[in-house]
Amino acid sequence: MSTQALLAELAAIAGERYVLRERSERLTYESDGNPLLVGAPLCTVLPAGREQAIAAVQACVRHGVAFIPRGAGTGLSGGATPTGGEVVIGMARCRRILAVDPVGCRAVVEPGVVNADLSRHVAPLGLYYAPDPSSQFACTIGGNVAENSGGAHCLKYGVTTNHVLGLEVVLADGRVVELGGAVWDASPGYDLTGLLVGSEGTMGLVSRATVRLLPQPQGIRTVLALFDDVAGASAAVSSVIAAGLLPAALEMMDRWAIRAVERGTYRVGFPEDLAASLLIEVDGPAAGLDEEAEAILTICRQSGVREVRTPSSPAERTLWWNNRKTAFGAMGKLAPSYYVQDGVIPRSRLTSVLAEVGRIADEFGLLVANVFHAGDGNLHPLLAYDDRHPGEAERVMAAGSEMLRACVAAGGTISGEHGIGLEKRDDMRALFSDADLAMMQAAHDALDPRDLATPGKVLPLPGRCVEVRRAAWDPRATLGEGAVADRSP
């Protein structure tokens, strides 16, 4: 069967104007939020609703052409990036909220529903959808399911997998299956819902999801703690957890991240010389919340905090959160481009691994800012660079890879929430044995033996060669001498 025949079938399914073939139309679909990885699709099809999405997968399967489901393209590991010639199935028009059950606390949604829109939709019922990636105003539930996404408030409430009850999936042979159900943890047999969550589109396209909704907490207390050294902030993180407190969120920014957000849109008035900040939130039944907040303030003081603040109004709390959640984008105020890494370490190793991250950045001549989910030990080093210089991409990726190895050496892992995608598939060898990887491959091949669903992602390919070049853009020239060496905690 010919490519032309497939394109004609896709046009019959979604409509001619929703099959994008021209380079100018499909440019957006050549990469996700990781601009270092780019590839050309055969075309992009934009189905309206799950029925059309299912038909689009089935057409690809009949023609033996690979397909890539795509949500909002905010992924950071190249998951939705084509490797050459796939049909990208953009889910942005599959955005119906199909049912809300306020008594059973669940919703049934199409995968293109934007994360924050779901919480907004159910807010009048006193409910919300808990996983809250910082990209939640753009990213989709389908992308969240595929990446098993986390977020600032996942320390207490768990990541996406803890909130998915059931999935409808179009497999890579075109069959449509229902996994899980409408009730939490009550599906007998193998946990295939668990297998699909986090499979990054490599086992089929999620065409419908049933998710848990939670009652909005009765009360919230927020604390902003300002530190003169990273060690003090890290000690406070460990002490909060050791004291048996479980904040909903425990977020850290270091010196350069603070400098970036203070040049961005949402400024909270951090002092220019600050070394670290912690944004801590507790929530739940109103009784006891003030005591929890007080205990956290005491721990911060015992850890040498310079200043603690509590918000004077809900608007101020929102400003603090907007400041934190736009930290990645604010990096544009420091450098022409940035590359974000995503590793996990035991919380007790925060100080030493952050120092190692800084050492690696120095070695590669890069400026690094850290903004991360400290409570989960989920690091996000942001490497500043200039993508207009040839060789920069390889340099930052090589530095990022070395940072991941430092996380693994500290007893951690290579991704907390951004997934493996194309970016880290070769780093999988740093973490898993051949036997581990063979089992993952077998699970994949059982569902997609022809490798039609998002091919070339997650599982490593044999051999890899990254050429590391010298810095072409020197952050010192733009941001001053301290940009590389000034990491002192």
Ligand X SMILES: Cc1cc2nc3c(=O)[nH]c(=O)nc-3n(C[C@H](O)[C@H](O)[C@H](O)COP(=O)(O)OP(=O)(O)OC[C@H]3O[C@@H](n4cnc5c(N)ncnc54)[C@H](O)[C@@H]3O)c2cc1C
Pick between residue 169 and residue 299 the one whose CB is nearest to ligand X.
169
Distances (CA, A) of 97 to 13, 89, 135, 147: 22, 19, 20, 20
Q: Pick from 135, 210, 323, 370: which binds ligand X (CB under 6 A)?
A: 135
Written as six digits, the tokens of 291 are 């005591």
44-83 residues near ligand X, rule: CB under 6 A = 68-76, 79-80
Q: What is the residue-wise DSSP string for 82-142?
A: -SSSPEEEE-TT---EEEEETTTTEEEE-TTSBHHHHHHHHGGGTEE-----TTTTT-BHH
CA–CA gap between residue 459 and residue 259 (Å, rounded): 37
Q: Does 448 bind ligand X (CB under 6 A)?
A: no
Q: Which helix (H) or strand (E) holds 10?
A: helix 3-14
CA–CA gap between residue 309 and residue 287 (Å, rounded): 21
Written as six digits, the tokens of 346 are 């035991």
Pick between residue 133 and residue 456 the one whose CB is nearest to ligand X.
133
Write the binding mask 90 to 109 for ligand X: x where contact by CB under 6 A, - elsewhere: -x------------------
Question: Sign (positive/negative) of CA torsion 399, 405, 410, 412?
Answer: positive
Distances (CA, A) of 76 to 149, 371, 423: 11, 15, 8
C-alpha closest to that of 385 among 372, 404, 399, 366 = 366
Minimal distance in Å, beta carbon 74 to ligand X?
Answer: 3
Minimal distance in Å, beta carbon 70 to ligand X?
Answer: 4
Pairing of strands 276-284, 249-254: antiparallel
Write the binding mask 238 to 267 for ligand X: x where contact by CB under 6 A, - elsewhere: ------------------------------
Pick between residue 305 and residue 338 the one whose CB is nearest to ligand X.
338
Minimal distance in Å, beta carbon 459 to ligand X?
Answer: 13
CA–CA gap between residue 141 and residue 116 (Å, rounded): 9
In 211-349, alpha helices (H): 230-242, 255-261, 289-302, 314-325, 327-330
Minimal distance in Å, beta carbon 295 to ligand X?
Answer: 26
Minimal distance in Å, beta carbon 355 to ligand X?
Answer: 24
Pick between residue 365 and residue 419 the one whose CB is nearest to ligand X.
419
Site residue total, ligand X (CB under 6 A): 37
Token look-up 């991941």 returns 404
Pick between residue 49 and residue 69 the one whose CB is nearest to ligand X.
69
CA–CA gap between residue 21 and residue 28 (Å, rounded): 12
Minimal distance in Å, beta carbon 79 to ligand X?
Answer: 2
Answer for the pair 253, 323: CB distance below 8 angstroms, yes or no: no
Minimal distance in Å, beta carbon 135 to ligand X?
Answer: 3
Q: Pick from 30, 32, 168, 254: which binds ligand X (CB under 6 A)?
A: 32
CA–CA gap between residue 418 and residue 78 (Å, rounded): 10
Minimal distance in Å, beta carbon 164 to ligand X?
Answer: 12
Quote helix, strand, coil % in the chain, to nearest 5: 40, 20, 40
Write the binding mask 405 to 444 for ligand X: x where contact by CB under 6 A, - elsewhere: ------------xx--------------------------
Point out which span in 128-136, 177-185, 219-227, 479-487 binds ligand X (CB under 6 A). Answer: 128-136
Minimal distance in Å, beta carbon 140 to ligand X?
Answer: 4
Q: Which long-range contacts (C-beta less than 8 Å, at least 24 apart) are formed by 189-193? A: 193/164, 193/165, 193/166, 193/167
CA–CA gap between residue 115 and residue 324 (Å, rounded): 18
CA–CA gap between residue 114 and residue 144 (Å, rounded): 10
Q: Does 163 bind ligand X (CB under 6 A)?
A: no
CA–CA gap between residue 235 and residue 252 (Å, rounded): 12
Q: Does 201 bind ligand X (CB under 6 A)?
A: yes
Write the binding mask 329 to 368 for ligand X: x where contact by CB under 6 A, - elsewhere: x---------------------------------------
138-157 residues near ligand X, rule: CB under 6 A = 139-140, 142-144, 146-147, 149-151
Minimal distance in Å, beta carbon 125 to ligand X?
Answer: 24
Minimal distance in Å, beta carbon 169 to ligand X?
Answer: 8
Minimal distance in Å, beta carbon 364 to ligand X?
Answer: 23
Point out which span in 133-141, 266-274, 395-403, 444-452 binds ligand X (CB under 6 A). Answer: 133-141
In 176-313, alpha helices (H): 192-196, 230-242, 255-261, 289-302
Pick between residue 54 and residue 231 the one whose CB is nearest to ligand X.
54
Pick between residue 71 and residue 247 the one whose CB is nearest to ligand X.
71
Q: Pick from 200, 281, 376, 426: which binds ligand X (CB under 6 A)?
A: 200
256-315 residues near ligand X, rule: CB under 6 A = none
- Helix 3-14 and helix 50-63: axis angle, to 10°? 170
Distances (CA, A) of 487 to 276, 370, 398: 11, 11, 20
User: Which residues contribute to the site for ligand X (CB under 6 A)?
Assistant: 32-33, 68-76, 79-80, 91, 111, 133-135, 139-140, 142-144, 146-147, 149-151, 200-201, 205-206, 328-329, 417-418, 454
